[in-house]
């Protein structure tokens, strides 16, 4: 797992820069604090982490308040936007905590869907924008479908339910979504 050398936060594989401080991630930390398993999901976290990057559980007795309900203690953070949440706000989906805003986002392993389109060329432009901003991208269905005489058109992809899907790592989702929103995508 990669780690931030400054704030010691652990990140998912494929992530290159720290979401909080922007530092380039390293494979190991120079301190003597080995990773320990998260009490909820078993994922590796550093002892000085505030939360588990894999499931969103607050760790090691850190006291925080829910961002929506400040009178309540937080029990988790959204694995995408890092919003602190109480038990009423946290939506657990497949062992991960999400806020209300992000609970319907499509997730596959450590990747989050940031864009999809039946227009291959539109998806290519989006991929180029994201990669140009140093965002790690993984695409599904980006190759020609060439199926049953269909040309690779939006109509063919719609009929075959075969959109191009653009995924980014968890910690890059908020930046990627904001970039696409600013560009009107």
On whether both 93 and 171 belong to a single domain, the answer is no
Which runs of consecutive H residues, i.e. helices, occur in the chain?
120-132, 154-159, 173-182
pLDDT tens digits, 3-16: 776 666 778 777 88
Please state at what angle helix 120-132 crosses helix 173-182, rounded to 10 degrees. Answer: 120
pLDDT tens digits, 71-99: 999 999 999 999 999 999 999 999 999 99
In the chain, the number of structural domains is 2
On whether both 124 and 173 belong to a single domain, the answer is yes
Domain residue limits at 143: 107-182
On whether both 115 and 148 belong to a single domain, the answer is yes
Query: pTM value?
Result: 0.68
On whether both 25 and 71 belong to a single domain, the answer is yes
CB 56 within 8 A of CB 41: no
CB 6 within 8 A of CB 18: yes
On whether both 55 and 8 belong to a single domain, the answer is yes
Domain ends where: 70, 103, 136? 103
Burial code of 81-95, b = ≥16 C-beta within 10 A, e = fewer? ebbbbbeebbbeeee
């Amino acid at each position: 797992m990669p780690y931030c050398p400054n704030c010691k936060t652990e990140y998912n594989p494929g992530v290159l820069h720290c979401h909080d401080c922007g530092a380039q991630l390293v494979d190991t930390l120079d301190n003597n604090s080995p990773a320990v398993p998260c009490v909820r999901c078993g994922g590796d976290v550093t002892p000085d982490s505030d939360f588990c990057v894999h499931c969103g559980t607050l760790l090691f007795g850190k006291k925080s308040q829910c961002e929506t309900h400040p009178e309540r203690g937080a029990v988790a953070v959204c694995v995408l936007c890092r919003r602190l949440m109480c038990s009423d706000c946290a939506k657990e989906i497949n062992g991960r905590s999400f806020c209300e805003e992000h609970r319907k986002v499509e997730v596959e392993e450590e990747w989050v869907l940031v864009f999809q389109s039946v227009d291959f060329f539109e998806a290519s432009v989006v991929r180029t924008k994201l990669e140009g901003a140093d965002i790690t991208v993984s695409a599904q269905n980006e190759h020609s479908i060439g199926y049953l005489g269909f040309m690779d058109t939006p109509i063919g992809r719609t009929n075959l339910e075969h959109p191009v899907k653009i995924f980014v790592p968890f910690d890059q989702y908020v930046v990627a979504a904001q970039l696409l929103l600013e560009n009107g995508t």
